[in-house]
Amino acid sequence: MVDRIMPEPFRIKMVEPVTVPDRSQREKALEAGYFNMFGLRSADIYIDLLTDSGTGAMSKYQWAALMKGDEAYAGADSFYALKEAVKEVLGFDYVIPCHQGRATENVLFGTMAKAGDKIPFNMPFDTTRGHIFNVGAEPVDCVIDEAYQPELQHPFKGNVDPKKLEEAILTYGKDRIPLIMVTVTNNSGGGQPVSLENLREVSSIARKYGIPLFLDAARMAENAYFIKMREEACKGMTLAEILKAMMDCADGITCSAKKDPLVNIGGMLCCRTEEMYHRLLPRVILFEGFATYGGLAGRDLEALAVGLREMVDEQYMAHRVAQVKYLGDLLDEGGVPFVKPAGGHAIFIDAKAFLPHIPQKMYPADVLSIEIYREGAIRGIGLGALAFATEDENTGELILPKLELYRLAINRRTYTNCHMEYVAQSIIDVFRRRDSIRYGLVVDYAPPVKGLHHFLARLRPVQL
Ligand code: F0G
Protein backbone atom coordinates (compact mmCIF):
# COMPACT_ATOMS: atom_id res chain seq x y z
CA MET A 1 0.00 0.00 0.00
CA VAL A 2 1.26 3.44 -0.91
CA ASP A 3 1.07 5.77 2.09
CA ARG A 4 -0.18 9.33 1.71
CA ILE A 5 2.33 11.37 -0.21
CA MET A 6 4.39 13.70 1.94
CA PRO A 7 4.78 16.92 -0.09
CA GLU A 8 8.15 18.58 -0.51
CA PRO A 9 8.93 20.94 2.43
CA PHE A 10 10.59 23.44 0.07
CA ARG A 11 9.80 25.37 -3.05
CA ILE A 12 11.97 25.63 -6.12
CA LYS A 13 13.93 28.85 -6.54
CA MET A 14 16.10 27.95 -9.51
CA VAL A 15 15.58 25.22 -12.07
CA GLU A 16 18.06 23.04 -13.87
CA PRO A 17 16.54 22.05 -17.23
CA VAL A 18 16.88 18.40 -18.21
CA THR A 19 15.79 16.72 -21.41
CA VAL A 20 14.76 13.17 -22.16
CA PRO A 21 17.12 11.64 -24.74
CA ASP A 22 15.34 9.57 -27.37
CA ARG A 23 15.92 5.85 -27.68
CA SER A 24 18.54 6.02 -30.42
CA GLN A 25 20.53 8.58 -28.39
CA ARG A 26 20.39 6.20 -25.40
CA GLU A 27 21.73 3.31 -27.50
CA LYS A 28 24.62 5.44 -28.75
CA ALA A 29 25.36 6.60 -25.23
CA LEU A 30 25.48 3.02 -23.93
CA GLU A 31 27.91 1.99 -26.67
CA ALA A 32 30.10 5.04 -26.15
CA GLY A 33 30.22 4.38 -22.39
CA TYR A 34 31.08 0.68 -22.77
CA PHE A 35 27.78 -0.27 -21.13
CA ASN A 36 29.07 1.06 -17.80
CA MET A 37 26.86 3.62 -16.06
CA PHE A 38 29.99 5.56 -15.01
CA GLY A 39 30.72 5.97 -18.72
CA LEU A 40 27.50 7.88 -19.50
CA ARG A 41 27.39 11.62 -19.91
CA SER A 42 24.95 13.55 -17.78
CA ALA A 43 23.49 15.13 -20.95
CA ASP A 44 22.27 11.67 -21.99
CA ILE A 45 20.29 11.12 -18.79
CA TYR A 46 16.82 12.26 -17.77
CA ILE A 47 16.81 11.23 -14.10
CA ASP A 48 20.21 10.58 -12.56
CA LEU A 49 20.09 8.33 -9.50
CA LEU A 50 23.68 7.09 -9.82
CA THR A 51 24.45 8.48 -6.40
CA ASP A 52 23.12 10.71 -3.65
CA SER A 53 26.67 11.97 -3.18
CA GLY A 54 27.30 15.64 -3.87
CA THR A 55 24.20 15.75 -6.08
CA GLY A 56 21.77 17.44 -3.68
CA ALA A 57 20.46 20.99 -3.84
CA MET A 58 21.89 23.46 -1.35
CA SER A 59 19.53 25.77 0.55
CA LYS A 60 19.49 29.53 0.14
CA TYR A 61 21.22 29.72 3.52
CA GLN A 62 24.08 27.59 2.24
CA TRP A 63 24.44 29.67 -0.92
CA ALA A 64 24.46 32.81 1.20
CA ALA A 65 27.10 31.29 3.48
CA LEU A 66 29.43 30.74 0.51
CA MET A 67 29.93 34.49 0.38
CA LYS A 68 31.38 34.46 3.90
CA GLY A 69 34.18 32.09 2.88
CA ASP A 70 37.51 33.11 4.44
CA GLU A 71 40.21 31.78 2.13
CA ALA A 72 43.14 32.20 4.52
CA TYR A 73 45.58 29.30 4.20
CA ALA A 74 45.76 28.75 7.94
CA GLY A 75 43.33 29.57 10.72
CA ALA A 76 40.50 30.79 8.48
CA ASP A 77 37.27 32.00 10.13
CA SER A 78 35.45 29.43 7.99
CA PHE A 79 37.34 26.60 9.71
CA TYR A 80 36.18 27.92 13.08
CA ALA A 81 32.59 28.17 11.78
CA LEU A 82 32.82 24.47 10.88
CA LYS A 83 34.44 23.56 14.17
CA GLU A 84 31.62 25.27 16.06
CA ALA A 85 28.93 23.47 13.99
CA VAL A 86 30.64 20.11 14.55
CA LYS A 87 30.78 20.68 18.29
CA GLU A 88 27.14 21.78 18.38
CA VAL A 89 25.66 19.05 16.15
CA LEU A 90 28.01 16.12 16.75
CA GLY A 91 29.80 16.90 20.00
CA PHE A 92 33.37 16.33 18.76
CA ASP A 93 36.12 18.72 19.85
CA TYR A 94 38.37 18.06 16.85
CA VAL A 95 37.54 18.26 13.16
CA ILE A 96 39.81 17.77 10.18
CA PRO A 97 38.33 18.93 6.88
CA CYS A 98 39.13 16.77 3.84
CA HIS A 99 38.10 17.10 0.23
CA GLN A 100 35.63 14.19 0.41
CA GLY A 101 34.87 10.94 2.21
CA ARG A 102 37.52 8.73 0.64
CA ALA A 103 40.17 11.27 1.58
CA THR A 104 39.20 10.80 5.22
CA GLU A 105 39.58 7.05 4.66
CA ASN A 106 43.05 7.55 3.20
CA VAL A 107 44.04 9.57 6.25
CA LEU A 108 42.47 7.19 8.77
CA PHE A 109 43.61 3.84 7.35
CA GLY A 110 46.92 5.20 6.10
CA THR A 111 47.68 6.38 9.63
CA MET A 112 46.17 3.64 11.78
CA ALA A 113 46.29 0.40 9.72
CA LYS A 114 49.09 -1.65 8.20
CA ALA A 115 49.52 -4.77 6.06
CA GLY A 116 48.01 -7.84 7.68
CA ASP A 117 45.57 -5.90 9.87
CA LYS A 118 41.87 -6.69 10.00
CA ILE A 119 39.13 -4.08 10.29
CA PRO A 120 35.84 -5.41 11.65
CA PHE A 121 32.85 -3.61 10.13
CA ASN A 122 29.16 -4.07 9.74
CA MET A 123 29.93 -3.62 6.02
CA PRO A 124 32.31 -1.16 4.34
CA PHE A 125 31.38 0.73 1.17
CA ASP A 126 33.43 0.33 -2.01
CA THR A 127 35.98 3.12 -1.58
CA THR A 128 36.33 2.23 2.09
CA ARG A 129 37.17 -1.36 1.19
CA GLY A 130 39.50 0.02 -1.48
CA HIS A 131 41.43 2.06 1.09
CA ILE A 132 41.64 -0.86 3.51
CA PHE A 133 43.03 -3.08 0.71
CA ASN A 134 45.35 -0.28 -0.32
CA VAL A 135 47.27 -0.52 2.97
CA GLY A 136 47.32 -4.33 2.76
CA ALA A 137 44.65 -4.80 5.43
CA GLU A 138 41.28 -6.50 5.11
CA PRO A 139 37.76 -5.71 6.26
CA VAL A 140 35.82 -8.35 8.18
CA ASP A 141 32.06 -8.19 7.67
CA CYS A 142 30.25 -8.58 10.99
CA VAL A 143 26.78 -7.47 9.95
CA ILE A 144 23.79 -9.49 11.21
CA ASP A 145 22.69 -12.39 8.96
CA GLU A 146 19.35 -10.68 8.27
CA ALA A 147 21.23 -8.15 6.12
CA TYR A 148 21.71 -10.81 3.48
CA GLN A 149 17.99 -11.57 3.09
CA PRO A 150 16.58 -8.83 0.86
CA GLU A 151 12.88 -9.59 1.37
CA LEU A 152 13.12 -9.92 5.14
CA GLN A 153 11.64 -7.03 7.14
CA HIS A 154 13.89 -5.99 10.02
CA PRO A 155 14.05 -2.52 11.59
CA PHE A 156 17.86 -2.42 11.89
CA LYS A 157 19.36 -4.55 9.17
CA GLY A 158 22.60 -2.57 9.40
CA ASN A 159 23.31 -3.82 12.93
CA VAL A 160 26.60 -5.43 13.85
CA ASP A 161 26.32 -8.98 15.16
CA PRO A 162 28.13 -8.65 18.51
CA LYS A 163 29.03 -12.34 18.48
CA LYS A 164 30.69 -12.07 15.07
CA LEU A 165 32.55 -8.98 16.28
CA GLU A 166 33.92 -10.62 19.41
CA GLU A 167 34.79 -13.72 17.42
CA ALA A 168 36.77 -11.60 14.94
CA ILE A 169 38.62 -9.89 17.80
CA LEU A 170 39.45 -13.22 19.43
CA THR A 171 40.40 -14.89 16.12
CA TYR A 172 42.74 -12.17 14.86
CA GLY A 173 43.83 -10.74 18.19
CA LYS A 174 43.39 -7.12 19.19
CA ASP A 175 46.92 -6.21 18.11
CA ARG A 176 45.95 -6.81 14.48
CA ILE A 177 42.76 -4.73 14.83
CA PRO A 178 43.67 -1.03 14.84
CA LEU A 179 40.03 0.04 14.83
CA ILE A 180 36.44 -1.14 14.54
CA MET A 181 34.14 0.64 12.14
CA VAL A 182 30.38 0.87 11.67
CA THR A 183 28.76 2.40 8.59
CA VAL A 184 25.58 4.36 9.39
CA THR A 185 23.41 3.75 7.46
CA ASN A 186 24.83 0.61 5.89
CA ASN A 187 25.11 1.63 2.24
CA SER A 188 26.40 -1.68 0.83
CA GLY A 189 23.61 -3.56 2.58
CA GLY A 190 20.70 -1.45 1.34
CA GLY A 191 20.94 1.86 3.21
CA GLN A 192 19.82 0.07 6.36
CA PRO A 193 20.15 1.67 9.80
CA VAL A 194 22.00 0.62 12.93
CA SER A 195 20.11 0.94 16.22
CA LEU A 196 21.37 3.06 19.09
CA GLU A 197 21.24 -0.02 21.29
CA ASN A 198 23.52 -1.84 18.86
CA LEU A 199 25.94 1.09 18.62
CA ARG A 200 26.15 1.15 22.42
CA GLU A 201 26.84 -2.57 22.52
CA VAL A 202 29.56 -2.31 19.87
CA SER A 203 31.03 0.62 21.75
CA SER A 204 31.22 -1.37 24.97
CA ILE A 205 32.90 -4.30 23.16
CA ALA A 206 35.39 -1.88 21.59
CA ARG A 207 36.13 -0.39 25.01
CA LYS A 208 36.48 -3.81 26.61
CA TYR A 209 39.31 -4.64 24.21
CA GLY A 210 40.75 -1.13 24.07
CA ILE A 211 40.12 -0.75 20.31
CA PRO A 212 38.97 2.63 18.94
CA LEU A 213 35.50 2.70 17.38
CA PHE A 214 34.92 4.87 14.32
CA LEU A 215 31.67 5.47 12.49
CA ASP A 216 31.47 5.98 8.75
CA ALA A 217 28.94 8.72 9.27
CA ALA A 218 28.05 9.76 5.71
CA ARG A 219 24.37 9.08 6.35
CA MET A 220 24.27 9.59 10.11
CA ALA A 221 21.16 11.83 10.16
CA GLU A 222 19.09 9.37 8.11
CA ASN A 223 20.22 6.69 10.55
CA ALA A 224 19.14 8.89 13.48
CA TYR A 225 15.72 9.37 11.89
CA PHE A 226 15.19 5.61 11.59
CA ILE A 227 16.14 5.26 15.26
CA LYS A 228 13.53 7.88 16.14
CA MET A 229 10.88 6.03 14.12
CA ARG A 230 11.77 2.48 15.12
CA GLU A 231 13.53 2.33 18.46
CA GLU A 232 11.04 2.40 21.33
CA ALA A 233 13.46 3.88 23.86
CA CYS A 234 14.20 6.88 21.58
CA LYS A 235 10.66 7.87 20.57
CA GLY A 236 10.60 10.98 22.75
CA MET A 237 14.00 12.26 21.64
CA THR A 238 14.62 14.86 18.93
CA LEU A 239 16.57 13.96 15.81
CA ALA A 240 19.41 16.16 17.05
CA GLU A 241 19.50 14.40 20.43
CA ILE A 242 19.57 10.96 18.82
CA LEU A 243 22.38 11.97 16.48
CA LYS A 244 24.44 13.21 19.43
CA ALA A 245 23.76 9.97 21.30
CA MET A 246 25.01 8.00 18.27
CA MET A 247 28.16 10.08 18.16
CA ASP A 248 28.72 9.58 21.89
CA CYS A 249 29.35 5.88 21.14
CA ALA A 250 32.36 6.60 18.92
CA ASP A 251 35.95 7.74 19.31
CA GLY A 252 35.75 9.36 15.92
CA ILE A 253 34.05 9.49 12.55
CA THR A 254 34.92 9.62 8.91
CA CYS A 255 32.31 11.49 6.93
CA SER A 256 31.63 12.18 3.32
CA ALA A 257 29.91 15.55 3.67
CA LYS A 258 28.46 15.04 0.18
CA LYS A 259 25.66 12.97 1.64
CA ASP A 260 23.70 13.94 4.76
CA PRO A 261 25.63 17.18 5.41
CA LEU A 262 24.16 18.52 2.15
CA VAL A 263 27.16 19.90 0.28
CA ASN A 264 28.39 19.25 -3.24
CA ILE A 265 31.95 18.62 -2.12
CA GLY A 266 33.58 18.01 1.25
CA GLY A 267 34.42 15.55 3.95
CA MET A 268 35.66 15.54 7.50
CA LEU A 269 37.31 13.42 10.14
CA CYS A 270 36.24 14.11 13.69
CA CYS A 271 37.74 12.80 16.90
CA ARG A 272 37.68 13.34 20.62
CA THR A 273 41.27 13.49 21.77
CA GLU A 274 44.14 15.78 20.99
CA GLU A 275 46.38 12.74 20.76
CA MET A 276 44.30 11.17 17.96
CA TYR A 277 44.02 14.55 16.23
CA HIS A 278 47.77 15.01 16.12
CA ARG A 279 48.32 11.46 15.01
CA LEU A 280 46.07 12.01 11.99
CA LEU A 281 47.28 15.46 10.94
CA PRO A 282 50.57 14.67 9.13
CA ARG A 283 48.81 12.58 6.49
CA VAL A 284 46.23 15.35 6.02
CA ILE A 285 49.01 17.78 5.26
CA LEU A 286 50.65 15.35 2.83
CA PHE A 287 47.52 14.50 0.86
CA GLU A 288 44.86 17.14 1.50
CA GLY A 289 46.10 20.50 2.65
CA PHE A 290 46.74 22.37 5.85
CA ALA A 291 44.84 21.23 8.94
CA THR A 292 42.31 24.07 8.78
CA TYR A 293 41.13 23.59 5.18
CA GLY A 294 42.02 20.02 4.13
CA GLY A 295 41.56 20.41 0.38
CA LEU A 296 38.46 22.58 0.59
CA ALA A 297 37.91 26.26 -0.06
CA GLY A 298 36.84 28.43 2.87
CA ARG A 299 33.44 28.83 1.20
CA ASP A 300 32.98 25.05 1.15
CA LEU A 301 33.59 24.95 4.90
CA GLU A 302 30.92 27.62 5.44
CA ALA A 303 28.33 25.73 3.36
CA LEU A 304 29.15 22.56 5.29
CA ALA A 305 28.69 24.28 8.65
CA VAL A 306 25.16 25.28 7.56
CA GLY A 307 24.43 21.85 6.04
CA LEU A 308 25.31 20.09 9.30
CA ARG A 309 22.59 22.04 11.07
CA GLU A 310 20.06 21.58 8.26
CA MET A 311 20.43 17.80 8.16
CA VAL A 312 18.81 17.49 11.59
CA ASP A 313 15.75 19.51 10.56
CA GLU A 314 12.93 17.09 11.37
CA GLN A 315 10.63 18.22 8.54
CA TYR A 316 13.34 17.94 5.94
CA MET A 317 14.33 14.48 7.08
CA ALA A 318 10.75 13.22 7.39
CA HIS A 319 10.16 14.15 3.75
CA ARG A 320 13.45 12.70 2.60
CA VAL A 321 12.85 9.27 4.09
CA ALA A 322 9.18 9.33 3.03
CA GLN A 323 10.16 10.09 -0.57
CA VAL A 324 12.45 7.06 -0.72
CA LYS A 325 9.70 4.95 0.84
CA TYR A 326 7.16 6.32 -1.68
CA LEU A 327 9.32 5.05 -4.53
CA GLY A 328 9.62 1.71 -2.72
CA ASP A 329 5.85 1.47 -2.21
CA LEU A 330 5.19 2.11 -5.90
CA LEU A 331 7.72 -0.55 -6.92
CA ASP A 332 6.22 -2.94 -4.41
CA GLU A 333 2.78 -2.50 -5.96
CA GLY A 334 4.32 -3.46 -9.29
CA GLY A 335 5.86 -6.60 -7.76
CA VAL A 336 9.47 -5.43 -8.14
CA PRO A 337 11.73 -7.18 -5.59
CA PHE A 338 13.93 -4.89 -3.49
CA VAL A 339 15.67 -4.81 -0.13
CA LYS A 340 13.01 -4.37 2.54
CA PRO A 341 12.40 -2.11 4.26
CA ALA A 342 13.25 0.83 1.97
CA GLY A 343 16.62 2.37 2.80
CA GLY A 344 17.28 5.93 3.93
CA HIS A 345 18.88 7.24 0.76
CA ALA A 346 18.06 4.66 -1.85
CA ILE A 347 16.03 1.73 -3.05
CA PHE A 348 18.14 -1.35 -3.71
CA ILE A 349 16.49 -3.69 -6.21
CA ASP A 350 17.33 -7.36 -5.77
CA ALA A 351 18.81 -8.14 -9.18
CA LYS A 352 19.09 -11.87 -8.47
CA ALA A 353 15.32 -12.03 -7.93
CA PHE A 354 14.54 -9.62 -10.79
CA LEU A 355 16.66 -11.48 -13.36
CA PRO A 356 17.02 -15.00 -11.91
CA HIS A 357 17.93 -16.47 -15.29
CA ILE A 358 21.18 -14.43 -15.54
CA PRO A 359 24.08 -16.06 -13.64
CA GLN A 360 25.61 -13.76 -11.02
CA LYS A 361 29.00 -13.99 -12.67
CA MET A 362 27.43 -12.30 -15.70
CA TYR A 363 26.49 -9.29 -13.59
CA PRO A 364 22.66 -9.16 -13.51
CA ALA A 365 22.69 -5.93 -11.45
CA ASP A 366 24.59 -4.23 -14.25
CA VAL A 367 22.29 -5.70 -16.90
CA LEU A 368 19.47 -4.11 -14.94
CA SER A 369 21.29 -0.75 -15.04
CA ILE A 370 21.41 -0.98 -18.81
CA GLU A 371 17.78 -2.00 -19.23
CA ILE A 372 16.43 0.68 -16.89
CA TYR A 373 18.49 3.28 -18.70
CA ARG A 374 17.16 1.98 -22.03
CA GLU A 375 13.61 2.16 -20.74
CA GLY A 376 13.49 5.55 -19.06
CA ALA A 377 16.86 7.29 -19.51
CA ILE A 378 17.24 6.73 -15.76
CA ARG A 379 20.69 6.04 -14.33
CA GLY A 380 21.09 3.84 -11.27
CA ILE A 381 24.07 1.65 -10.39
CA GLY A 382 24.80 -2.05 -10.00
CA LEU A 383 26.27 -2.97 -6.62
CA GLY A 384 26.88 -6.67 -6.98
CA ALA A 385 29.54 -8.96 -8.39
CA LEU A 386 31.16 -6.28 -10.55
CA ALA A 387 31.75 -4.05 -7.51
CA PHE A 388 32.29 -6.56 -4.75
CA ALA A 389 33.53 -9.93 -6.11
CA THR A 390 36.95 -10.95 -4.82
CA GLU A 391 39.40 -13.67 -5.75
CA ASP A 392 40.49 -16.49 -3.50
CA GLU A 393 44.11 -15.74 -2.60
CA ASN A 394 45.22 -19.34 -3.16
CA THR A 395 43.09 -20.65 -6.00
CA GLY A 396 42.32 -17.39 -7.84
CA GLU A 397 38.69 -18.49 -7.91
CA LEU A 398 36.03 -15.77 -8.06
CA ILE A 399 34.18 -15.29 -4.76
CA LEU A 400 30.81 -13.75 -5.50
CA PRO A 401 29.14 -11.43 -2.97
CA LYS A 402 25.97 -12.59 -1.26
CA LEU A 403 23.99 -9.62 -2.51
CA GLU A 404 23.50 -8.57 -6.11
CA LEU A 405 21.78 -5.20 -5.91
CA TYR A 406 20.86 -2.36 -8.23
CA ARG A 407 20.66 0.98 -6.45
CA LEU A 408 18.48 4.00 -7.14
CA ALA A 409 20.01 6.71 -4.93
CA ILE A 410 17.72 9.68 -4.34
CA ASN A 411 19.44 13.04 -4.52
CA ARG A 412 18.59 15.32 -1.62
CA ARG A 413 16.00 18.08 -2.26
CA THR A 414 16.42 17.60 -6.02
CA TYR A 415 13.69 15.46 -7.55
CA THR A 416 9.95 15.64 -6.88
CA ASN A 417 7.57 12.87 -5.97
CA CYS A 418 6.32 13.01 -9.58
CA HIS A 419 9.83 12.09 -10.73
CA MET A 420 9.59 9.10 -8.39
CA GLU A 421 6.37 8.02 -10.12
CA TYR A 422 8.07 8.16 -13.51
CA VAL A 423 11.00 6.10 -12.20
CA ALA A 424 8.69 3.49 -10.69
CA GLN A 425 6.63 3.22 -13.87
CA SER A 426 9.72 2.76 -16.06
CA ILE A 427 11.10 0.05 -13.78
CA ILE A 428 7.78 -1.76 -13.58
CA ASP A 429 7.74 -1.75 -17.41
CA VAL A 430 11.18 -3.41 -17.42
CA PHE A 431 9.98 -5.88 -14.80
CA ARG A 432 7.05 -6.89 -17.02
CA ARG A 433 9.40 -7.75 -19.87
CA ARG A 434 12.14 -9.26 -17.68
CA ASP A 435 11.94 -12.73 -19.27
CA SER A 436 12.89 -11.28 -22.65
CA ILE A 437 16.21 -9.91 -21.25
CA ARG A 438 18.43 -12.73 -22.42
CA TYR A 439 21.97 -11.48 -22.10
CA GLY A 440 24.71 -11.13 -19.52
CA LEU A 441 27.89 -9.06 -19.42
CA VAL A 442 31.56 -9.83 -19.76
CA VAL A 443 34.40 -7.55 -18.72
CA ASP A 444 36.69 -6.54 -21.59
CA TYR A 445 38.80 -4.29 -19.40
CA ALA A 446 39.07 -3.60 -15.68
CA PRO A 447 41.82 -1.70 -13.85
CA PRO A 448 44.35 -3.92 -12.08
CA VAL A 449 43.44 -2.47 -8.70
CA LYS A 450 41.54 -4.47 -6.16
CA GLY A 451 38.11 -3.07 -5.32
CA LEU A 452 37.83 -0.52 -8.14
CA HIS A 453 36.66 -2.64 -11.09
CA HIS A 454 33.16 -1.27 -11.44
CA PHE A 455 34.23 2.35 -11.80
CA LEU A 456 36.29 1.81 -14.91
CA ALA A 457 35.20 -1.54 -16.36
CA ARG A 458 34.42 -1.83 -20.05
CA LEU A 459 31.55 -4.23 -20.42
CA ARG A 460 30.16 -6.17 -23.36
CA PRO A 461 26.75 -7.83 -23.61
CA VAL A 462 26.77 -11.49 -24.64
CA GLN A 463 23.67 -13.52 -25.40
CA LEU A 464 22.76 -16.20 -22.87
N1 F0G B 1 31.41 5.92 2.97
C2 F0G B 1 30.19 5.64 2.50
C3 F0G B 1 29.21 4.89 3.34
C4 F0G B 1 29.86 6.06 1.20
O5 F0G B 1 28.65 5.78 0.74
C6 F0G B 1 30.81 6.77 0.44
C7 F0G B 1 30.50 7.23 -0.90
C8 F0G B 1 32.05 7.05 1.00
C9 F0G B 1 32.32 6.60 2.27
C10 F0G B 1 33.10 7.81 0.25
O11 F0G B 1 32.77 9.16 0.18
O12 F0G B 1 32.39 9.68 -2.23
O13 F0G B 1 32.81 11.48 -0.57
O14 F0G B 1 34.62 9.99 -1.26
N15 F0G B 1 29.52 6.85 -1.50
C16 F0G B 1 29.02 7.32 -2.76
C17 F0G B 1 27.84 6.51 -3.17
C18 F0G B 1 29.98 7.67 -3.81
O19 F0G B 1 27.45 6.61 -4.34
O20 F0G B 1 27.26 5.83 -2.34
P21 F0G B 1 33.18 10.12 -1.03
AA identity, residue 90: L
Mean pLDDT along residues 3-26: 92
Residue ranges per structural domain of the chain:
23-52+313-463, 60-310
60-310 belongs to CATH 3.40.640.10:
yes
Reply yes or no on whether 419 is catalytic: no
C-alpha neighbours within 13 Å on the C-beta side of residue 414? 25
AA identity, residue 386: L
Q: Is the CB of 125 under 6 A from ligand 1?
A: yes
Candidate list 43, 73, 114, 444, residue with the active-site label: 73
pTM of the model: 0.96
Quick one: what percent of the chain has pLDDT higher than 90?
94
**Of ligand 1's atoms, which has the minimum distance to the CA of residue 257?**
13
463 alpha carbon – ligand 1 mean position (Å): 33
**Of ligand 1's atoms, which has the minimum distance to the CA of residue 266?**
13
Q: DSSP label at 440?
A: E
AA identity, residue 368: L
Reply yes or no on whether 35 is catalytic: no
Q: Is the CB of 124 under 6 A from ligand 1?
A: no
**pLDDT, tens digit (0-9, with 9 covering 90-100), for 256-294:** 999 999 999 999 999 999 999 999 999 999 999 999 999
Give the list of residues 6+ apart from residue 115 with CB closer than 8 angstroms, or none: 135, 136, 137
- Is the pLDDT at 444 greater than 90? The verdict is yes
- Is the pLDDT at 1 greater than 70? The verdict is no
Query: Ligand 1 pocket test: which of 132, 256, 324 has the largest number of ligand atoms within 8 Å of its C-beta?
Result: 256
Beta bridge partners of 231: none
Same fold, 23-52+313-463 and 60-310: no
- Is the pLDDT at 3 greater than 80? The verdict is no
Residue 65: which pLDDT band, with cuts at 50, 70 and 90?
Answer: very high
Q: What is the mean pLDDT of the chain?
A: 96
Residue 313 burial class via C-beta count within 10 angstroms: exposed 0-12, middle 13-18, buried 19 and up: middle
Reply yes or no on whether 79 is catalytic: no
315 alpha carbon – ligand 1 mean position (Å): 25
* Dihedral sign (CA 54, 56, 57, 60): negative
**pLDDT (0 to 100) of residue 390:** 87
Candidate list 131, 157, 345, 454, residue with the active-site label: 454
Give the class (CATH, top level) of 23-52+313-463: alpha beta
Reply yes or no on whether 125 is catalytic: yes
Reply yes or no on whether 454 is catalytic: yes
Reply yes or no on whether 259 is catalytic: yes
Beta bridge partners of 96: 269
Candidate list 70, 141, 161, 216, residue with the active-site label: 216
**pLDDT, tens digit (0-9, with 9 covering 90-100), for 306-325:** 999 999 999 999 999 999 99
